[in-house]
């Protein structure tokens, strides 16, 4: 990305306007339409996905829930027939007892305050608390559910998104070093687990070292990951 693709709030993005004259354009986060103008509402590099999707990849640490997001949450409390889960958003999210695989009214999942879960956002609305689920539409848990052991840390939302990107070289590069498990939440939390705590710690440092790498430099930084993990 060149520097000309960097937008500030209030900037008019005429390149999109030109494209919009010929075909439909999808404006993602950080871009707004004001009548026939396209204006950026956040600061950051302008991203484009073929054929017609645009968004601003701004640096952000506060998570705003959106339907379908995979998030890491910490159980805060049991409340009636829901658990309250902290996902780093403004409001505490809820997850129903029944939103786990093979859960019934009698067979409740055993979650306690302080447990960490990997869940999907089912509902995200400005007026009500976000709701999570740990099953897919077929009632299977897939990779969701309670995470045992390992370690988790917080990072910027961008880092989470970058790791989740298709063909992100980082996870593969780490895999060459050691076997590990990872759960990336788009709410800026990443859970990792390797065979030993020391390895886990190395992983944490390696992933955090990617924090300031842009999309362009990531390949280069991935080459140095071995060094980072040694320290």
Partner 1 sequence: MFLNSNLFEPGKSKLERNFVQVLTKQNNRLDGRSADDFRDVELTFGAEWGIVALTVGQTRVLAEVTCEIDAPTSARPNEGALFLNVDIDGVSFLDEVQTTHDQRVLALNSLLERTFRSSRCLDLESLCIASEQHVWYVRVNVKVLNHDGNLYDACTTAALAALMHFRRPDVTYNDKQIRTYSEKERELVPMLFLHYPVSVTYCVYKSSSKPVVDPTLLEENAADSVIVLSFNSYQELCTLNAGGSAPTTAHIIMQCARNASRRCKSMVQFIRKALALDTERRQAKQPVGLLELMRSTMPKITYNRLMNEESDVPVTNNEPVSNMATVATPQHQEPQNMIKEQRKQNKQEPVTPMDDSTWLPSTDEVKDKDNPKLKIKETLPQVKETRPKGSNNNRGKGKGGKNQKPKRTESDSEEETKPVI
Contacting positions for partner 1 (CB under 8 A):
74, 76-77, 86, 88, 92, 112-116, 147, 149-152, 154, 191, 197-198, 200-201, 231
DSSP lists the bridge partners of residue 94 as 84, 131
Nearer Cβ to partner 1 (7/75): 75
Of 84, 67, 157, 162, nearest to 120 by C-alpha is: 67
Output the smallest distance, CB 70 to partner 1, in A. Answer: 17
Output the smallest distance, CB 167 to partner 1, in A. Answer: 29
- Helical ranges in 1-58 per DSSP H: 14-22
Contacts of 107 (CB under 8 A, 6+ apart): none
Paired sense of beta strands 131-133 and 93-96, if any? parallel
Q: How far, in Å, CA of 169 to CA of 171, rounded?
A: 6
Output the smallest distance, CB 130 to partner 1, in A. Answer: 15
Exposure string (b/e) for 157-195, b if CB count within 10 Å is 16 or more?
Answer: bbbbebbeeeebebeebbeebeebebbbbbbbbbbbbbe
Of 73, 201, 83, nearest to 146 by C-alpha is: 73
Nearer Cβ to partner 1 (30/88): 88
Nearer Cβ to partner 1 (93/174): 93
Output the smallest distance, CB 168 to partner 1, in A. Answer: 24
Output the smallest distance, CB 201 to partner 1, in A. Answer: 7
Nearer Cβ to partner 1 (86/177): 86
- Helical ranges in 27-153 per DSSP H: none
Asked whether the beta carbons of 124 and 130 are under 8 A apart, the reply is yes
Q: How far, in Å, CA of 120 to CA of 220, rounded?
A: 32
Enter the DSSP assignment of 214. Answer: -
Nearer Cβ to partner 1 (48/154): 154
Output the smallest distance, CB 69 to partner 1, in A. Answer: 17
Nearer Cβ to partner 1 (81/149): 149
């Amino acid at each position: 990305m060149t520097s000309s693709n960097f937008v500030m709030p209030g900037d008019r993005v005429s390149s999109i306007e030109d494209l919009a004259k010929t075909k439909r354009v999808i404006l993602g986060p950080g871009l707004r339409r004001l009548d026939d103008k396209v204006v950026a509402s956040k600061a950051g590099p302008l991203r484009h996905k073929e054929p017609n999707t645009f968004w601003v990849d701004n640096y952000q640490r506060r998570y705003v829930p959106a339907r379908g997001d995979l998030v890491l949450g910490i159980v805060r409390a049991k409340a009636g027939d829901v658990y309250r889960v902290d996902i780093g958003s403004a409001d505490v999210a809820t997850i129903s007892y029944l939103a786990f695989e093979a859960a019934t009214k009698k067979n409740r999942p055993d979650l306690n305050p302080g447990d960490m879960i990997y869940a999907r956002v089912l509902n995200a609305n400005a007026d009500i608390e976000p709701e999570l689920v740990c099953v897919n539409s077929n009632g299977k848990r897939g990779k969701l559910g309670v995470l045992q052991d390992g370690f988790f840390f917080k990072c910027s939302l961008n880092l989470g998104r970058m790791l989740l990107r298709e063909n992100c070289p980082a996870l593969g590069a780490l895999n060459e070093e050691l076997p590990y498990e990872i759960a990336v939440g788009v709410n800026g939390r990443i859970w990792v687990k390797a065979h030993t705590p020391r390895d886990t710690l190395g992983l944490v440092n390696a992933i955090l070292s990617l924090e300031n790498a842009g999309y362009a430099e990531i390949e280069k930084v991935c080459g140095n990951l071995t060094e980072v993990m040694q320290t």
